[in-house]
Structure 1
Amino acid sequence: MTPAPAPAAWLNAVATATPSHDIHDAFIGWARRRLPDREAKLFDRMVERAGIGHRWSVLPIGVDGGSPVAPGGFYADAMPGTAARMTIYADAAPTLAIAAIEGLGDRVALDGITHLVVASCTGFVAPGIDQIIAARIGLSPRVERLLVGFMGCYAAVAALRSARHIVRSQPEARVLVVTVELSTLHLQPATTLEPLLAMLQFGDGAAAALVTADEGGFAIETPFAATLPDSAALIRWDITDAGFAMHLSGEVPGRIAQALTDPDFAAAATGGRALSQVDGWAVHAGGRSILDAVERSLSLSPQALAASRGVLAAHGNMSSATLMFVLAAMLDGTPVANGIALAFGPGLAAEGFGFRSAA
């Protein structure tokens, strides 16, 4: 007897949350003062081209609306140690994640959750934030948990891929997927252009999604992955005594563009789909130059990455949460018959999956 095919796994709904403290302009002023005049002018030009209007932080607003780098702010005097940053993460990450979960509860019933998958790379705590979240929202102690840690910007793919595998093997499963990143906890005292431009991209955000076998939303189709050779040094997190130091090479967009012009890599990075038939692109908004590289290399229309560019403008790059914000925007938009979700991260790797709207 031929076994029955595995059921489809559906991304039924996504909700997002950001803090209320916009730190983008304060960072720009702080960063340009750390550069010599010639580099500061180049920094200003890159700020204008970045396509980012706001980035949000869990760090508190100081006296008289002061930013984290203003007198009395978290970064005002000296760079805090990793312990101080992780103390904030242990409280603020679950709190922001729960705000997203509460928003999800306004969209879809969250009773009977059987599995919790949490992705985060901007902090560590034990018991893990998966356990903290589960306890705070009252999940049963029997709920199975998975914590996807330190994978970076494509961790949302790993989290949704795991949820898909769970649902296809256990059709009755109801999987709560959460991504939460507090990138602004990791400001570094850089005085050169490249690291300051990297930090210009990042903000805080969380997203929550429900994945089940119940038709509705987006069907999560076959996942795929590809890694560029000799590229491991291009995107890197280094854990230091003063937080996590992000290294994001200026070579990344060019390497992505070059790789996507290789038919073999492009086929691997898009799951072998015929690009002419793709009517929905959910691309991780890692930065304007990365989105431009994808658009040019795959010969996409100027509107193809509109959802990604909108998320970048409103929130910046929130690491693993960013792709979920893009998917949330697309769920509220035009139905998609043949979509591709794609994210880039440490490795340098591309990971993604196909998706389509319910009939």
Structure 2
Amino acid sequence: MSLPVPVYLNAIGTAVPGHDIHHAFIAWARERLIDSRSAKLFDRMAARSAIGHRWSILPPTGSGGSPVDPQGFYADAILPGTAARMAIYAEAAPMLGIAAIEALGDLGDITHFVVASCTGFVAPGIDQIVARRIGLSPSVERLLIGFMGCYAAVAALRTARHIVRSDPAARVLVLCVELSTLHLQDVAEIEPLLAMLQFGDGAAAALVTAEPGGFVLGAPFATTLPESEGLIRWDITDRGFAMHLSGEVPARIAAGLADPVFAQAATGGRDPAEIDGWAVHAGGRSILDAVEGALHLPAEALVASRGVLADNGNMSSATLMFVLARLLSGSPIADGVALAFGPGLAAEGFGFRSAV
């Protein structure tokens, strides 16, 4: 019986828009907190967020202002409806996705195209729009993974791995593209404002084949924290998608990882002390701190994740690919783990190692 063919994540390309909206959002959000105690807490949490920049596809105003300033997308007292937001998604998501794909360089003859996105809907889907614009053959097999949230990159890369293992001649293009800043909500409560504080726009593309180079993609794994389904969710409303990210999430993750059974499931059965490469979804500073503390990782273990968080914030499904891109350009990794948390509350990931 022949052994399964090794599958390689050969390259990753990334792209972000050019409009940094992080500090403009902080000023806008703080104005909504009338209670001085909440305002002080928000200031403290914003300062501790470890986020320096978040990028938006929404353009600056004519005078250079942000989307919440006069003439900006969110300037009116009643924020735009879901239809207006989806109209922008239909135009901007393919453009940003193509920028990430172009960063990959030569693709060769792509046979499969896997796209993950949870921040918009359009039909024909962005998989068809992008495939047509970049000149992929109409015979390319496409898959669109929607609404899985932050761990969707795992699902997309896992799917690519399954395809190549079943057809070693396959060349799979994977794309994660998220436009989180399309979903600003006019709220005055600190928890949803702190949730929105995390998110920015970004896209990442990857090439997965049986040709040696990059990272060897190992076995995937998945598990779910019990009684946690309400902690992370998206609600589709008439005013965009409302993100609910409970403040309990970091503590629940830490408690889960303190359980040897859950920790084994969330690391693919590996001993954290033996892992020399960590690609943890940069969902927020407190989440990275929870993982680091619960698994007793050295301070340098999550440098790549913290760097992505500082430079881009949380870009939902694209974030993990940004972290992998940093690791791919760094020192060789003998035994790595990619791990992401998302709605459920689920933890999904896979093992990886450098090809050389």
TM-score (norm 1): 0.98
Cα deviations across residues 34-71 of structure 1 (Å, max 9, x unaligned)? 00222111100001100000000000110211100000
CA contact (8 A) 2:222 2:349 kept: yes
Structure-2 residue corresponding to 1:11: 9
Structure-1 residue corresponding to 2:288: 291
Structure-2 residue corresponding to 1:144: 141
Cα deviations across residues 279-323 of structure 1 (Å, max 9, x unaligned)? 000000000000000000000000000000000000000000000
Matched letter for residue 49 of structure 2:
A
Matched letter for residue 330 of structure 2:
G
Residue aligned with 2:158, SS: helix
Partners of 1:16 and 1:51 lie apart in 2 by 21
Residue aligned with 1:43, SS: helix
CA contact (8 A) 2:273 2:297 kept: no
In the alignment, structure 1 residue 312 sits paired with structure 2 residue 309: yes
Structure-2 residue corresponding to 1:153: 150
Residue aligned with 1:210, SS: strand
Structure-2 residue corresponding to 1:53: 52
Partners of 1:301 and 1:274 lie apart in 2 by 14
One of 31, 34, 45 as aligned partner of 1:33: 31
Structure-1 residue corresponding to 2:22: 24
TM-score (norm 2): 0.99
Unaligned runs of 5+ in 2: none
Superposition RMSD in Å: 0.5
Cα deviations across residues 93-119 of structure 1 (Å, max 9, x unaligned)? 0000000000111xxx21200000000
The list of structure 1 runs, each at least 4 consecutive aligned residues, that deviate by more than 6 angstroms after superposition, is: none
Structure-1 residue corresponding to 2:80: 80
Matched letter for residue 6 of structure 2:
A
In the alignment, structure 1 residue 227 sits paired with structure 2 residue 224: yes
Partners of 1:132 and 1:123 lie apart in 2 by 14
Structure-2 residue corresponding to 1:274: 271
One of 243, 257, 262 as aligned partner of 2:259: 262
Partners of 1:302 and 1:111 lie apart in 2 by 39
Query: What fraction of aligned residue pairs are identical, expressed as a percent?
Result: 74
Structure-1 residue corresponding to 2:321: 324
Number of matched residues? 354
Partners of 2:50 and 2:42 lie apart in 1 by 14
Residue aligned with 1:116, SS: strand
Matched letter for residue 69 of structure 2:
A
Partners of 1:272 and 1:214 lie apart in 2 by 27
Partners of 1:301 and 1:347 lie apart in 2 by 28
Partners of 1:292 and 1:276 lie apart in 2 by 17
In the alignment, structure 1 residue 42 sits paired with structure 2 residue 41: yes
In the alignment, structure 1 residue 349 sits paired with structure 2 residue 346: yes
Unaligned runs of 5+ in 1: none
Q: CA deviation at 1:261?
A: 0.4
Q: CA deviation at 1:85?
A: 0.1
